Amino acid sequence: MAKTIQNLLSEVDTSITSNHNAEITGPILNGVLKSLVGNLSNYFLFPLETGVTTGDIGKLMMNDGSGTAKVYQLSAATAEQKGRFVLKLEDLNDLNSDSMITIFSLNYDISFNRSTWRNGSTPSTALEELQLIKAYIDANTEMDNLITSMVSDELVIVEDEYDLTQIELANFPGFSLFIDTVSRPALPATPTAFPIGKLIGIDGTNGLISTNAVETYLLDGTATINHSLFNNDTDIDFNDVNDLTALAGMLVVPSGDGKVKSLDPSEINFDETFIVSFRHHVVGLALSSTSNSITVANTNHLSFLGHILKRIAAKGVFTN
């Protein structure tokens, strides 16, 4: 375990006192230096949340957006969320005959192009074009879960009932569609906060957070590591629940009270809701485990980047 600066200073003071001459001799200095070097760890300093104590050393810490390190806890379960989409158009000439809108949900998949929503009309402004799109959606009874309105020259489309509604555009100008709220189902308590690392010491109001590439964490429950998966020749059947369970078990995710656990496939929706329902941050890859600890190759930074990409996909940022 890493020692704080105050710990090391106290050891030096004790060594000088035990010498009875207010000096530190060669052998004693040698012992203190060995103790210091032997306890050096790779770490960075991060401000601690009030209430974190030395009793929390060894636990996984999180940054939940507060900018301070807290003992890891799961984020609360969430209710289902209705989608809200904003469609805007700057110039009528930005569209062509191949411009298409696709709206799909759990119950329908509808695509319509410019000729369809115009239905013989010829708009003279971008606002009139949006009004024709609105009229087409309102008239289609299959999309009766959607409520449309014109707000500040923009077409706003909102789910009246949750239906995992998604909208895609083809041959529209970039950034024509803004997904204000992603349509997603109710979700259980999940590790959504970023796992910054293991607390290995405290120095004043700062925590010493391990930066070791491989780290051992406190284990919540049990972990079964299928070491055959480390061999690329091992066949994996992605349609076999046992193989999926073994593969998921290699991924280590945060749990409550600063512990970690193997990812449980039952917590994941392996269906069309995956991209909006998977909220787990991943600590890393399981290497070995005991009854109460697990050794992990840390990949938490990749988890952060992966979630950014997932959120971009869910928000449809690059839809055009």
Averaged pLDDT of the chain: 87
Compute the distance between CA of residue 84 and CA of residue 161 in angstroms, rounded to an integer.
11
Greater confidence, 248 or 160?
160
Of residues 181, 107, 169, 177, the one with CA closest to residue 144: 107
Task: Please give the single-letter amino acid code of residue 250.
Answer: M
Greater confidence, 157 or 313?
157
Mean pLDDT confidence for 154-167: 95
HSE, side-chain direction, 13 A CA sphere, residue 135? 13
Greater confidence, 268 or 180?
180
Greater confidence, 16 or 232?
232
Confidence tier at 244 by pLDDT (50, 70, 90): confident
Query: What pLDDT does 318 receive?
Result: 45
Compute the distance between CA of residue 253 and CA of residue 223 in angstroms, rounded to an integer.
12
The answer to which of 79-93, 97-111, 145-159, 269-283 has the lowest mean pLDDT is: 269-283
Mean pLDDT confidence for 20-27: 61
Query: What pLDDT does 111 receive?
Result: 97
Mean pLDDT confidence for 242-267: 88
What is the maximal distance between C-alpha atoms in the chain? 102
Name, in order, each residue with C-beta under 8 angstroms of 32's C-beta and a sequence gap of 6 or more.
11, 12, 15, 24
Q: Which tens digits make up the pLDDT trace of 170-228?
A: 999 988 999 999 999 998 899 999 999 999 999 999 999 999 999 999 999 999 898 88
CA trace torsion 55, 56, 58, 63 (10° rounding):
-170
Q: Which tens digits make up the pLDDT trace of 97-139?
A: 999 999 999 999 999 999 999 999 999 999 999 999 999 999 9
Q: How many angstroms separate the Cα of 37 from the Cα of each of 11, 199, 249?
A: 13, 19, 36
pTM: 0.70
Of residues 197, 195, 257, the one with CA closest to residue 43: 197
Compute the distance between CA of residue 81 and CA of residue 127 in angstroms, rounded to an integer.
29
Confidence tier at 248 by pLDDT (50, 70, 90): confident
The answer, yes or no, to whether residue 87 has pLDDT greater than 90, is yes
Greater confidence, 244 or 136?
136
Tokens 């192009």 belong to: 113
Map out the domains of the chain as residue ranges: 44-77+188-312, 84-183
Query: What pLDDT does 320 receive?
Result: 47
